[in-house]
Amino acid sequence: MSSFYKYESASMTAIRNIAPQSPENFPDWRFDYLDIEYDKETRSVWMNYKLDSPDCYTLPMLMDAIEFQRLLQELFASPAASRWPIRYFVMASRKTHVFSLGGDLATFASAVRARNRDGLLNYAHRCIDVMYGLTSAFDLPIITLSAVRGQCMGGGFEGALATDFLIAEASSKLGVPEVAFNTFPGMGAITFLKRRVGEALAEQIISSGTVRSAVDLFELGIVDVVAQDQTLRDTTISWMLQGGEERWMRRKKLANHRRRCFPIFKKELIDVVEVWTECCFQISEPDLRHIERLVAAQERLTKSAKNRTNSGVASGTAELRRMGG
């Protein structure tokens, strides 16, 4: 028998059918937008965004991530856990051009135009469900890390910041450019950056909206490891294996120490995202049109990448940067 969950977008309500999943099926869990794999050598579970998944966090994609978190918790509590020991969770993407462009701006603009606060707030709360799961390591005795290549913007950057460690390819571009359309990153950037680099630098990064390279962010202490281009997976695996048992224990203690000394509470994330939601309904018509142009630029970038035309990807990427994406 199939299981179901209900989700609401800014413009519609729908029922989505999900195939039954259980701990015993691990790692062969099936999702519309996620590929799950297990690496025995590093004892790591990888949650990869599929090649044909949206470049941004649509609501169905968020629900896939929430369902994955629930299943992982069930796995740890089941007899199957002894067959699949897990030390690391890795969030990555199958795509070469983009990790994530962040929030679903099309849904965002549609909700604002329709004055649909409940729809946008529902979407925002699901974002926080995902972010809090990442920053709390799903309440499991594991280390979480992001393996980033390509464009990592807005909510995508916030998701990467939510994990314990961040590994990025040298050519990756990361940032929170929401200031370009007179709002702010509401899905945790303020909290996550403050924990990593302090209040002053966090405020500077958010208020400038500057998109930075992985190398620049490494120098600021935000990216933990810079991988040479085309070596992200190998670098991530090598990093997990580095130092053996002693290094694993040290990293685990460090992650636990951060959570104890710099705790992040879900209520704080919810409070900020609710302020963000109200702020969204105050933006002007020119800002909305800017967002809609950015959506069109994202679509062109996605189309160019799918056609595998390098010049098209470069053009689309440059356009996103000019427009604050």
Domains and CATH numbers, the chain: 3-323 (3.90.226.10)
- Beta strand pairing status for 173-175 and 225-227? unpaired
Model's pTM, two decimal places?
0.87
Q: Report the pLDDT value the prediction gives residue 318, as an integer from 0 to 100.
A: 47
Nearest to 313 by CA among 98, 128, 117: 98
Cβ count near 124 (within 10 Å): 23
- Output phi, psi for 184, to 5 deg: -145, 160
Task: Compute CA distances 4 → 49, 124, 216, 241, whole Å.
Answer: 22, 21, 44, 39
Residue 180: per-residue pLDDT: 87
pLDDT, block means (10 residues), the chain with 325 residues: 33 47 93 97 98 95 97 96 97 95 92 95 97 97 97 96 98 94 91 93 94 97 97 98 95 94 95 94 91 82 60 44 45
Rounded CA-CA distance 26/28 in Å is 5
CB 150 within 8 A of CB 172: yes
Report the alpha-carbon distance of residue 238 to residue 257 in Å, rounded. 24
Coil vs helix vs strand at 167: strand
pLDDT at 295: 84
pLDDT 10s digits, 147-157: 999 999 999 99
What is the CA angle 306-49-269, rounded to 5?
125
User: Would you mind telling me the total number of residues written for the chain in this entry?
Assistant: 325
pLDDT for position 306: 62
CA-wise closest residue to 159 among 148, 171, 150, 170: 148
Q: What is the pLDDT of residue 117?
A: 95
**Residue 127 burial (CB count, 10 A):** 26
Residue 6 burial class via C-beta count within 10 angstroms: exposed 0-12, middle 13-18, buried 19 and up: exposed
**CA dist 283 → 115, 123, 182, 290 (Å):** 12, 18, 7, 11
Q: Which residues of 175-191 are buried (b: 16+ CB within 10 A; e: fewer)?
A: bbbbeebebbbbbbbbb
Residue 315 is predicted with a pLDDT of 43
